[in-house]
Structure 1
Amino acid sequence: MFKKKPTASEVDGVQYRRAKLWQIICYACNGLVGMSVYSLIGMASYSASIGYGITTAAVGIILTCSRILDGITDPLLAFVYDRVNTKFGKLRILLVAGYLIEALALYGMFTGFSSKGLGLPVFALLYIVYIIGYTITNMTAQTIPAIMTNDPRQRPTIGV
């Protein structure tokens, strides 16, 4: 009566890896956490101005220089990324490490060292630490969809 729609593996004869629904949902939560951190770091200039006494122009220079630093840290961390191999896998360790580094830097930036009179050097250092955590997290998160599934019918649903 009803004919079952063939899977992609049946159509082209290739054995595909498919992600489970809960894995796709967990990957989407990774994006939610990333956007939450991104929203918080958008307030960094306010923290620098109010909590560290740094002028707005100096904050702009720090944030611009950190983008230049990002161009240096990306290839260096990619070198490290290729060499990570633990019994828990590469992705879990790097995601957790990246989020912990980001969380520690943001805690220090907004709460731990704010309003203590430490000024520009401490804020710049905390922002650099944040950039390193951000790079680790995003490099890892970009590789997850390709590892989760290679099914051409499922691949577009991973990023939604």
Structure 2
Amino acid sequence: MANKFTRPFDVDLKSKYPARQSSQRKRKFTETETAKLDTYQQILLSDLKEYYNSLDVSAGELDMDDLFGPDEAKNLAINYSQIESLGDVRELIGGECFEGQLRWILNQIQKFQTNQAAFKSFLDSTPVLQKVARSSIHHTSPAHNF
């Protein structure tokens, strides 16, 4: 065989491959931020459960805990600053389990983002107190003679 095969046209196979997932930025949180995010997770879980129970959903024996749990809430809380659209929410929690879930979650996260931005701008506009210089004299207790 001479290995002289020629294709009738060039084929672009890139459309056949799955799209690359966007890499999430990892960041470290301070203890204060971690406590705030933990609180936000609990609020998000309880409020979404209340919203779900208020809907007329004929899902049989499914409880809200089966559809949205602490792992999804943690994922949303950690990445709240990067969430801008329904697609971002869908990507982080894996899809919509009941009608209106993604829209409700996005609205709650946008409220949280607005509150965080307002709080940050308040902190930025608050004058910083000047530290008072300490004297360089060190007070020591008298030595005990035993």
User: How does the TM-score come out when normalised to structure 1?
Assistant: 0.28
Which one has more relative contact order, counting CA pairs under 8 Å at least 6 apart?
1
- Larger helix proportion of the pair: 1
Larger radius of gyration: 2
User: How does the TM-score come out when normalised to structure 2?
Assistant: 0.30
